[in-house]
Each structure stands twice: as C-alpha cells, then as structure tokens.
Amino acid sequence: MNGNWVESSNPEKMEIINPATQEVIARAPLGTKEETNEAIKIAKQTFESAVWSGQSPKERAAVLLQIADKLQENIDVLTDLEVQNNGKTRREAQSDVEEAASTFRYYAGLLTMPNGQSYEASGDIQTLIVKEPMGVAGLIVPWNFPLLMSVWKIAPALAAGNSILLKPAEITPMTAVKLFELMDETDLPKGAANLIMGVGSVVGQTIAESNDVDIVSFTGSTEVGRRIMQAASGNLKKVSLELGGKSPNIIFDDADLETAVDYALFGIFLGSGQVCSSGSRLLVQEGIYDTFVEKFVEKAKAIRVGPGNDEHSQMGAIVGEKHFKSILDYIRIGKEEGANLVLGGNRIEKDGLDRGFFIEPTVFTHVTSDMRIVREEIFGPVVAIQKFKGEEEAVRIANDTDFGLAGAVFSTDHNKAIRVIKKVRAGITWVNAYHLTNIQAPWGGYKQSGIGRSLSTYGLDEYQETKQINIHLEPKPIGWFE
C-alpha cells in the first residue's frame, strides 16, 4: 500500500499450500474491508496527484520496460514460486513469466503509437478523439495463471495511466507479491500500484462496491462475475469480465488425424484442464470417431502426471483441495448421469502422489448435451466426447451452451473449416490448432463468458475513457437566438 508493506490488522492468516505436497509454504494476510477502502483511497489520491497519470506516454513506457526487465531477470524465482503455489509444471510456469514480460513490453510499445483520432467534422470544426485514464482500476484475478492474469490487467491499466489495486486469488498470492516487490524497484511512483491479499467476499466485494473505483476488471467464474456486476451498479463503474467456458473442439472426418489428436490433448490437458479456454467438449464426426477416440485415449493414458518441479512431469497438480474435490465430484456425477468413463476418473496415489492433489487424465464418451458434465465448467483434466453426423449438427451442438469463450475446428477442407468456425459463437477460435494465441489479439468471450476484451489494443481501450474535443477553428457567434 502506497509503496509500503503493511501488516493486516486481521490476526487470521491464510495457509498457502503447495498442491503437489500439501506443505505449507507461507502464511498470507487476509485484508479487511477497512484496509481495502484505505488502499482504494491511496490509489485515488495517487491518481489525482497526477504523479503517474500525468506522466507522458514515453515516461510510462520506460517504467513498463523496467518492469519487463525485472520479470525477465527473476524468471527462475518467479517460475519456482508459481510451480510451488499453483502446482503447474515448470515448462508452463516459465512460459507464463515470459508472456508476462512480453505483455509489459507490448503495452510499452503501444504507448509509442498515436492513441486517438482527429478529423474535420465541418468546415470550421476539427474534432479530436482523445483517450484518458479512467482513475482507479480494481483488478481481481483467479488462481489458474496467478502471475499472467494479474499482468494481463496491470500492464494495460498502468499503461493507460490509471492507479491500480490488485487482489490475487486468496490461495495463490505468491507471484503477485514478488511482482510488487519487483515493481517497487522501478521508477513506478508510490501508490500507483497497490496489492491487497484477502478473500473474495471481503476484499473483492469491497472493490466491486466502492464508489471510488472507476473500473472493476475481473477474471474468474461466471457465478462470481454476476455478483461483481451487481455490486458495481452503485456508482455504475465500468465492468470488464473474463469468465468461464465450456469450449467445443470440432473434429471432422477429413481432419489430419495426428494433428487433431495432438491439439485435442493440448486443448484439454494443458494446465490440468484448469484453463478458461480449455477444449472440454470434443465433437468428433462419426466416420473417424472410433479411430480418434482410440488414439486420443492411448495418448492421454501416456501423459506423465506429477509434481511441477519434476522435469519428467507433463501435467501438474490440481490447485487446491476444494477444487480437487469438486473435479472428483463432477467425475462421479458423469458416471451417475450414464456417461461412459473410458479413461481415468481417479485420484493418483502411486509414487507418493497421494501427498498432493493429482487426478488422472479423464475421458467420457456417450455423453449427451443435457448432462451436467457437458453443460458445466469442470475446470479439470476431464473431457466429454460427443459424436456428430454432419456440419449442421456440429454447429448446433457447439453452440448449445451458455458459454462462448473459445472453440476450434479441425478439417483439411479449409472452406468448410472457415464456414464452421465463423458460425461458432465464441470470442477465441482456431482452425487446425488449439490454445495458440498472441498478445496482439483481443481475448474474451461471447454470451456468459464475459464482457470486454483483454490484451491487444482492445485491452488498452478497456482501461481508458474516450473524450471528444470539438475545436472551433474560426470562432464567431452561432447567432441561434438572433
């Protein structure tokens, strides 16, 4: 807070657990409502003082580049912390840190570009469209990409000149703490970036309700997103929501089988399925259905699940006990609903993995669109495979969902692939690939997967107000009431 680390007055602490071993790695403070309001006040005062908002784009860009350098220099420490706290593999964690550094660089770069428009509206009126910071940005992030999701918000929010307040997920604050320590070593003015740890219903809710917060940017579940939107209505603050998904991955008979199987695995088992854009519904055309399922299951079975810090592990732990139990519950529900469990379904207990939260890659077939395992986001290494006959049916099943985050099509008939992907009602899509994306592309969902976009120029726009300035070039009376 305001460039200082402040002890919370709340004596209660959150035990931070390594999900691969259940060891306690830290004890984190749980901020109070009053402390949250105090941090918001500091962010507001800092914004109004213009120590950051008043700096030139060039000056702000220099600071963002300093932060990127700090992240890069500390890549090993940050990778270790993310592996220990989240349970993901080193390979995944390191890629997150690299992406985080690139995101700061990208927004530093955008600050060197013109940011606005100007045109002649009529003979003597020149209109300028200018972008301005909004004020205080309240940023609330989940536990699946603790560092990267924070940075997806912090980088554009700071680039735009806002003051920020970040609330990490209560169970994964470690890399956020390190990031703030690193930002403290840069020329970022005190009070421009503030961090508060604590529970969603206290700290998060206070941010969403506060009359002094101008935008609340949230990534997390659709359920909490809805609550944030309601809480934000008091002062009509802007709401930016990146929510859940249940994304369809459509495989046609004429797909390149090896590529389709490979990306289908990557689509669902990356991050143990704890990725918002996971391809958790596989729709496979009848002609290759049996061959595809056989190959997919064979490869899924061979995935090496283990602690993130073991270089042999290809898939890490589930983030925590509560979520671990929820995934196992969904597997039980799937069986009760009559889906056919063809692979996995259990906690892994061999080789000492019983100390942590590990779940086998799990595959259900013979599912129907009304089953809960097809409708609800499980957010774990669990995929539901459905069979379809033709193009029209594939599109209908793909869009039969409340979500609209991501989707993919695999086919060697490019006309068909493009025709179908254009009909998929989702914001992030692929043809013959999955999960490959870039900072220049807007990230976000249709329907109940969210409002607004992250990354790209759209992501910067999210944290800016837009003003029109109409300049009278030849000032003279209008004479309306003559």
* Residues noted as catalytic: 242, 276
Q: Does 221 bind ligand NAP (CB under 6 A)?
A: yes
Residue type, position 195, single letter: L
For residue 134, the 8-state DSSP code is -
Torsion angles phi and psi, residue 180, rounded to 5: -70, -35
Q: What is the footprint of ligand NAP within residues 345-404 (CB under 6 A)?
A: 377, 379
Q: What is the footprint of ligand NAP within residues 263-282 (CB under 6 A)?
A: 276
Q: Which stretch binds ligand NAP (CB under 6 A): 17-25, 63-71, 136-144, 380-388?
A: 136-144
Orientation of helix 57-73 relative to helix 75-86, angle to 10°: 70
Residue type, position 69, single letter: D
CB of 218 to ligand NAP, least distance (A): 6
Q: What is the footprint of ligand NAP within residues 223-242 (CB under 6 A)?
A: 224, 227-228, 242
Q: Does 170 bind ligand NAP (CB under 6 A)?
A: yes
Q: What is the footprint of ligand NAP within residues 416-445 (CB under 6 A)?
A: 445
CB of 272 to ligand NAP, least distance (A): 12
CB of 212 to ligand NAP, least distance (A): 16
CB of 379 to ligand NAP, least distance (A): 5
Q: Which is nearer to ligand NAP, 176 or 353 (CB)?
A: 176
3-state secondary structure 8-38: CCCCCEEEEEECCCCEEEEEEECCCHHHHHH
Distance (Å, rounded) from C-alpha 161 to C-alpha 54?
7
Applying CB under 6 A, among 97, 158, 166, 243 the residue interacting with ligand NAP is 243
Applying CB under 6 A, among 167, 178, 295, 435 the residue interacting with ligand NAP is 167
CB of 200 to ligand NAP, least distance (A): 2
CB of 146 to ligand NAP, least distance (A): 10
Q: What angle do CA 175, 264, 90 make, to 5 degrees?
A: 25
Distance (Å, rounded) from C-alpha 30 to C-alpha 11?
8
User: Strand locations in 244-331, DSSP E?
Assistant: 248-251, 281-285
Question: Which of 436-467 are b and which e, b meaning 16 or more Cβ less than 10 Å from the residue's Cβ?
Answer: ebebeebbbbbbbbbbbbbbbbebbbbbbeee
Q: Which is nearer to ligand NAP, 135 or 445 (CB)?
A: 445
244 alpha carbon, distance to own chain's centre:
9
Applying CB under 6 A, among 219, 249, 272, 362 the residue interacting with ligand NAP is 219
Asked whether 91 and 307 are in contact (CB, 8 A), the reply is: no
Q: Which is nearer to ligand NAP, 74 or 205 (CB)?
A: 205
CB of 459 to ligand NAP, least distance (A): 11
Q: Which is nearer to ligand NAP, 61 or 228 (CB)?
A: 228
Residues 6+ apart with CB under 8 A from 5: none
311 alpha carbon, distance to own chain's centre:
26
Applying CB under 6 A, among 148, 169, 270, 408 the residue interacting with ligand NAP is 169
Distance (Å, rounded) from C-alpha 214 to C-alpha 207?
10
Q: Which is nearer to ligand NAP, 40 or 405 (CB)?
A: 405
Q: Which is nearer to ligand NAP, 52 or 324 (CB)?
A: 324
Provide the mask over 191-210, with x wherever binding to ligand NAP is found by CB under 6 A and - wherever it is not: --------xxx--xx--x--
Give burial (CB, 10 Å; 0-12/13-18/19+) of 355: middle
CB of 320 to ligand NAP, least distance (A): 9
Distance (Å, rounded) from C-alpha 213 to C-alpha 42?
11
Residue 61's SS3 state is helix
Distance (Å, rounded) from C-alpha 472 to C-alpha 466?
20
Q: Check the CA dihedral 181-183-188-192 and report its sign.
A: negative
Applying CB under 6 A, among 138, 245, 273, 404 the residue interacting with ligand NAP is 245
Q: Which is nearer to ligand NAP, 14 or 343 (CB)?
A: 14
Residues that bind ligand NAP (rule: CB under 6 A) add up to a total of 31
Q: Which stretch binds ligand NAP (CB under 6 A): 57-65, 165-173, 288-296, 416-424?
A: 165-173
Asked whether 20 and 308 are in contact (CB, 8 A), the reply is: yes
Q: Does 173 bind ligand NAP (CB under 6 A)?
A: no
Q: Does 220 bind ligand NAP (CB under 6 A)?
A: yes
Chain residues binding ligand NAP by CB under 6 A are 140-144, 149, 167, 169-170, 199-201, 204-205, 208, 219-221, 224, 227-228, 242-245, 276, 377, 379, 405, 445, 450
